[in-house]
Amino acid sequence: MDMMKDDPRFMLAVLFLCLFLKTHICHGADRISGNQTLTGDQTIVSAGEIFELGFFKPVNSSKYYIGMWYKRISERTIVWVANRETPVSDRFSSVLRISDGNLVLFNESQIQIWSTNVSSSGSSSVQAVLEDNGNLVLKEGSNNSRRILWESFDHPAHTWLPGSKLGYNNITKKNQRLISWRTSEDPAPGLFSLELDTSDNSYKILWNGSVQYWTSGPWNENTKIFDRVPEMRLNYIYDFHFVSNNTEKYFTYSVKDNSTTSRFLMDVSGQIKQQNWLGNGWNLFWSQPRQQCEVYAYCGAYGNCNEESLPFCNCVTGFEPKSQSNWDIEDYSVGCRRKTPLQSCGNNSTSGGGNGERDKFLQLTSMSLPNQSLSAGSAAQCESTCLNNCSCTAYSLDDNDCLIWIGDFLDLEQLSEDDGTGRTFYVRLAASELPNPKKKNGVIIGVAVGSAVGISVFLCLIVFVILRRRKKIVKPGKTVEGSLMAYDYRYLQNATKNFSEKLGGGGFGSVFKGTLPDQTVIAVKQLESFSQGEKQFRTEVSTIGTIQHVNLVRLRGFCSEGAKRLLVYDYMSNGSLDSHIFREKTSNLLDWKTRYQIALGTARGLYYLHEKCRDCIIHCDIKPENILLDSQFIPKVADFGLAKLVGRDFSRVLTTMRGTRGYLAPEWISGVAITAKADVFSFGMMLFEFVSGRRNSEQSEDGKVKFFPRWAASVIIDGGDVLSLLDPSLERNADVEEITRVCRVACWCIQDDENRRPTMGQIVQILEGVIDVNLPPVPRSLQVFVDDQENVIFYTESSSSQSSQTRSNTSTASSQAKSTTSSKNSLS
């Protein structure tokens, strides 16, 4: 093959083919060597066809760059760029080749615009090889004594690939950095970077190379994690290493299962992100800072960041985007500019927009203040202090102190009204930008009211009242798509007496009780975090609205106004299941028959969600809090479809699904697609709790039973006293066969390997007694994963005892389960 490559006839044939087919893989080779060149649509491909290198252009740009991307991933994902700041416009007359022992990019005028820039012997044996790990390596010498002159791993762009190092080299004194792209269309170095701080071995994210807004905390050699990244303990799919000695300090990682494509990048959003490819898209696995508004100066000068609005950035009143085209591509860093110049200071003309009036101040409440304030005397004179300083743009009061801001202010954030830390911020504006308080005019009108005016005012009032009435009747809103109502926010505010009676606070937001004018009782859920705009929200909600089943809570309607998103449900008079099975007092005791019926009803509801409705829906948050009971104790699954509304990111799952810990299936952290089997796992965990009457995550009162599922399995398998498993409050009043059945199916459900878990359909059949499960698999020794507050996140079988000891007859549930396993993924 190598001989053939050197054969000129072969080369000519290849060249001809290339011209003829215009194929992208022209060299078909993994290297550029000797006299070879790369130009136009030609690319080189790593030996295992993992990475590809050649010219590319960002979608809406007209400029070309030499870049590296994944060969097999359908979504073009650039992981490295050579000439970040020096693009070319004609890729056919530009060329990448070896020149004087370096890999050099020449532009249209054959002028060198990028080079590996190493001093070398200029030997002709230099080659640039693209390796399967995404490293482009410049080598010199014969096969046996290759010397590495330069490698792209030492010069990362914004992506950090598995196997490469990110750190400091004490010999070259070079500190590597990941630097974000300037915008999604421009790979030039942007404002956000990640680098190692060698003083305390922590990684820091910096804005414009100076202002730090996130740190990993120092590396802790004992716990092998960075102090402020406790989730590193969940090293389920990655192996991390930190090396620190006098020669070098670096952090590196690898993916345990190397069939997973994973990358780590400094994103244009100012967040570092870890993503895994799931076959149809990049799945966000982890990111920091979690909140967009924690990114320093994300919205630029005079921008206002609001975590609850979409987009996150807005200009402060009186300002407008400095560059609308940048804002359109979500690049807010350019910030905002004044619509009307300030009046005062050196401008003694009336050219400022204030018609000669002095500048005024706009009052913004519940703000997180920008960082760079100056202390300026007493609070009483604060406003005039600011007015008298030409460069003062804003002030705020801090007890008895006056804080002023000089020049552009960055990093202003709107907090929610009930956030206790919010402060009031006064922004200086030209007087004409502020709505004039019409006090004086009011007095004049008052004096001038004549009888004619009086009558017309009276008429207006009548019309107003009628309109209001009419509006009130119309208010519940028009019917949209099916039977859903679009409610008015004010209407729901009235119905819930201004959200005064809280029923509960779930993972997605708080729920309030309300009463409609016709005395129907409703439950109103205020969504706290959602990732979608209005249109998508309506689409999603109307899908949820079409799903109706006796074991699912019915969605009656919704409200979507501004940044507010509410869902209106039927009210369930017996509350949620947790209050009945984990109760303190023995009233409300659910007897065994009722528990069994609740288990069966819940299974039917989930079966319907997974397999019977038009689009398969994975609930993602099955736990007793989400099983509601109506007046007849019929179970109704709540909150289905919401996981989609809040987005599919794992980091969101962890932050938004509070109280979910203990029910999450291990694949949540494995970076693979979530299937309906994740719900099966959670359902299994919950079944054990039906039996024991306590949370699996708690030890028994006498401390003897640490993990109930394991104990239950051993009692069933050893033919022990099944009734001893039962919630003591039930005083052994239960059907032994039913308890056995529930424990068996629960054991099937909580297996690590999702393919072994039954489907919801099989579970329904088992609980109905139609099919039977013999001996369950024993939950093996389980690892407990905890988060930074030491709360249990989930359990998984420890990998040390991986060998299966299923003594059971797997022919029923397991084999069928395999055949029905599909990668339905409602989250994508």
| 324 is a contact residue toward ligand NAG (CB under 6 A) | no
Among 279, 341, 454, 769, binds ligand NAG (CB under 6 A): 341
Helices then strands, counting H and E runs in the chain, come out as 17, 47
Q: In whole angstroms, what separates CA 240 from the centre of its chain? A: 22
Among 172, 245, 519, 631, binds ligand NAG (CB under 6 A): 245
Is 787 in the active site? Answer: no
415-to-336, 366, 412, 420 alpha-carbon distances in Å? 20, 5, 10, 9
Comparing CA positions, the residue from 693, 650, 549, 826 lying closest to residue 273 is 650
Distance spanning both ends of the chain, measured CA to CA: 43
Query: What's the half-sphere exposure (Cβ side, CA atoms, 13 Å) at 414?
Result: 22
* 418 CB-contact burial (10 Å; exposed 0-12 / middle 13-18 / buried 19+): exposed
Q: In whole angstroms, what separates CA 446 from the centre of its chain? A: 56
Q: Which is nearer to ligand NAG, 325 or 815 (CB)?
A: 325
292-to-109, 650, 754 alpha-carbon distances in Å? 43, 16, 34
Percent of the chain that is helix, strand, coil (3-state, to 5): 25, 30, 45
Site for ligand NAG in 696-735 (CB under 6 A): none
Q: Which is nearer to ligand NAG, 205 or 713 (CB)?
A: 205
Site string for ligand NAG, 109-138 (x = CB under 6 A): x-x-x---x-x-------------------
| Angstrom distance (rounded) from CA 118 to CA 102 | 7
CA-based radius of gyration for the chain = 32
Three-state SS for 315?
A: strand
Cite the annotated binding site by residue number: 525
Q: Which amino acid is at 795?
A: Y
| 198 is a contact residue toward ligand NAG (CB under 6 A) | yes
Measured from the CB of residue 674, what is the shortest distance to ligand NAG in angstroms?
24
| 329 is a contact residue toward ligand NAG (CB under 6 A) | yes
Measured from the CB of residue 247, what is the shortest distance to ligand NAG in angstroms?
4
Tokens standing for residue 485 = 């109502």
| 348 is a contact residue toward ligand NAG (CB under 6 A) | yes
Site for ligand NAG in 16-55 (CB under 6 A): 34-35
Comparing CA positions, the residue from 59, 49, 58, 194 lying closest to residue 134 is 49
Task: Report residue 137: phi and psi, to 5°.
Answer: -120, 130
Q: Which is nearer to ligand NAG, 406 or 717 (CB)?
A: 406
Q: Which is nearer to ligand NAG, 372 or 774 (CB)?
A: 372
Tokens standing for residue 310 = 């979409």
Measured from the CB of residue 295, what is the shortest distance to ligand NAG in angstroms?
10
Site for ligand NAG in 378-407 (CB under 6 A): 390
> Which range binds ligand NAG by CB under 6 A, 103-111, 531-539, 687-695, 780-788?
103-111
Write down how long the chain is: 828
Site for ligand NAG in 51-80 (CB under 6 A): 59-60
Q: Output the DSSP codes for 158-169.
A: SEE-TT--EEEE
* 632 CB-contact burial (10 Å; exposed 0-12 / middle 13-18 / buried 19+): exposed
Measured from the CB of residue 324, what is the shortest distance to ligand NAG in angstroms?
12
| Angstrom distance (rounded) from CA 224 to CA 448 | 79
| 634 is a contact residue toward ligand NAG (CB under 6 A) | no
Among 62, 324, 351, 803, binds ligand NAG (CB under 6 A): 351
Q: Which is nearer to ligand NAG, 295 or 598 (CB)?
A: 295
Only one residue has tokens 């109704």, namely 636
- Residue 70 contacts residue 51 (beta carbons within 8 Å): yes
| 170 is a contact residue toward ligand NAG (CB under 6 A) | yes
Only one residue has tokens 């007015």, namely 387
Measured from the CB of residue 346, what is the shortest distance to ligand NAG in angstroms?
4
Strands 272-277 vs 313-315: parallel, antiparallel or unpaired: unpaired
> Which range binds ligand NAG by CB under 6 A, 343-351, 471-479, 611-619, 711-719?
343-351
Q: Which is nearer to ligand NAG, 47 or 453 (CB)?
A: 47
DSSP secondary structure code for residue 801 in this structure: G
| 296 is a contact residue toward ligand NAG (CB under 6 A) | yes
Measured from the CB of residue 213, what is the shortest distance to ligand NAG in angstroms?
6
| Angstrom distance (rounded) from CA 53 to CA 70 | 9
Cite the annotated binding site for ATP by residue number: 525
Task: Report residue 603: phi and psi, to 5°.
Answer: -60, -40
Measured from the CB of residue 587, what is the shortest distance to ligand NAG in angstroms?
52
Measured from the CB of residue 448, what is the shortest distance to ligand NAG in angstroms?
38
- Among the options 621, 639, 649, 727, which is catalytic? 621
Among 342, 412, 485, 495, binds ligand NAG (CB under 6 A): 342
Measured from the CB of residue 642, what is the shortest distance to ligand NAG in angstroms?
28
| 145 is a contact residue toward ligand NAG (CB under 6 A) | no
| 172 is a contact residue toward ligand NAG (CB under 6 A) | no
Q: Does 289 sit behind a cis peptide bond, omega within 30 degrees of 0 on the bond before it?
A: yes
Site string for ligand NAG, 789-828 (x = CB under 6 A): ----------------------------------------
| 442 is a contact residue toward ligand NAG (CB under 6 A) | no
| Angstrom distance (rounded) from CA 502 to CA 490 | 17
| 372 is a contact residue toward ligand NAG (CB under 6 A) | yes
Comparing CA positions, the residue from 26, 65, 30, 56 lying closest to residue 45 is 30
Measured from the CB of residue 296, what is the shortest distance to ligand NAG in angstroms?
5
| 247 is a contact residue toward ligand NAG (CB under 6 A) | yes
| 467 is a contact residue toward ligand NAG (CB under 6 A) | no
> Which range binds ligand NAG by CB under 6 A, 19-27, 205-213, 380-388, 688-696?
205-213
- Within 10 angstroms of residue 33's Cβ, the number of other Cβ atoms is 17
- Residue 409 contacts residue 302 (beta carbons within 8 Å): yes
| Angstrom distance (rounded) from CA 160 to CA 819 | 38
HEC string of 584-630? CCCCCCCCHHHHHHHHHHHHHHHHHHHHHCCCCCCCCCCCHHHEEEC
| 2 is a contact residue toward ligand NAG (CB under 6 A) | yes
DSSP secondary structure code for residue 291 in this structure: S
| 451 is a contact residue toward ligand NAG (CB under 6 A) | no
| Angstrom distance (rounded) from CA 826 to CA 764 | 22
Measured from the CB of residue 673, what is the shortest distance to ligand NAG in angstroms?
19
Q: Which is nearer to ligand NAG, 98 or 767 (CB)?
A: 98
Q: Which is nearer to ligand NAG, 282 or 499 (CB)?
A: 282
| Angstrom distance (rounded) from CA 413 to CA 422 | 9
| Angstrom distance (rounded) from CA 683 to CA 745 | 10
**Residues in contact with ligand NAG, total (CB under 6 A)?**
39
Q: Which is nearer to ligand NAG, 7 or 481 (CB)?
A: 7
Among 143, 145, 789, 803, binds ligand NAG (CB under 6 A): 143
Q: Which is nearer to ligand NAG, 91 or 565 (CB)?
A: 91
Q: Which is nearer to ligand NAG, 245 or 400 (CB)?
A: 245
- Residue 522 contacts residue 593 (beta carbons within 8 Å): no
- Residue 395 contacts residue 382 (beta carbons within 8 Å): yes
> Which range binds ligand NAG by CB under 6 A, 101-109, 438-446, 465-473, 782-790?
101-109
> Which range binds ligand NAG by CB under 6 A, 74-82, 246-254, 433-441, 694-702?
246-254
Q: Which is nearer to ligand NAG, 353 or 709 (CB)?
A: 353
Measured from the CB of residue 807, what is the shortest distance to ligand NAG in angstroms?
32
Q: Which residues are at the interface with ligand NAG (CB under 6 A)?
A: 2, 34-35, 59-60, 107-109, 111, 113, 117, 119, 142-143, 170, 198, 208, 211-213, 243, 245-248, 258, 296, 329, 341-342, 345-348, 351-352, 371-372, 390
Active site residues: 621
